[in-house]
Amino acid sequence: MELSDELKTAAWRKATKSASNQGNCLEVAPLSGGRVGLRDSEAPEKAPFVVSASVWDAFVDGAKKGEFDF
């Protein structure tokens, strides 16, 4: 399956806390090969950003450690 087809049928999900933000947030979807798709829930028609499993894992690890806190 080509990436463009996979993105169309991907199981997009967003954080449950997005409800407090009128549902606007970042959505993620698991893809083949461990990749992860990212898109803006306000503009799902725009091309999503796709990262490798190692990039996603590094991001999640950093977020858990508070590296992106403002």
d(CA 47, CA 50): 9
For residue 45, give every residue at least 6 positions away whose Cβ sits within 8 Å of its Cβ, in sequence order, or none. none
Show the tokens assigned to 16.
Answer: 């449950």
pLDDT digits 0-9 by tens, 51-69 = 999 999 999 999 999 999 9
d(CA 15, CA 5): 24
**Predicted local distance difference test score (pLDDT) of residue 41:** 85
Q: Pick the residue with more confidence: 1 or 46?
A: 46
E strand intervals along the chain: 13-14, 26-30, 36-40, 49-51
Assign 5 a pLDDT band (cuts: 50, 70, 90).
Answer: confident
Residue 31, pLDDT > 90, answer yes
**Predicted local distance difference test score (pLDDT) of residue 23:** 60
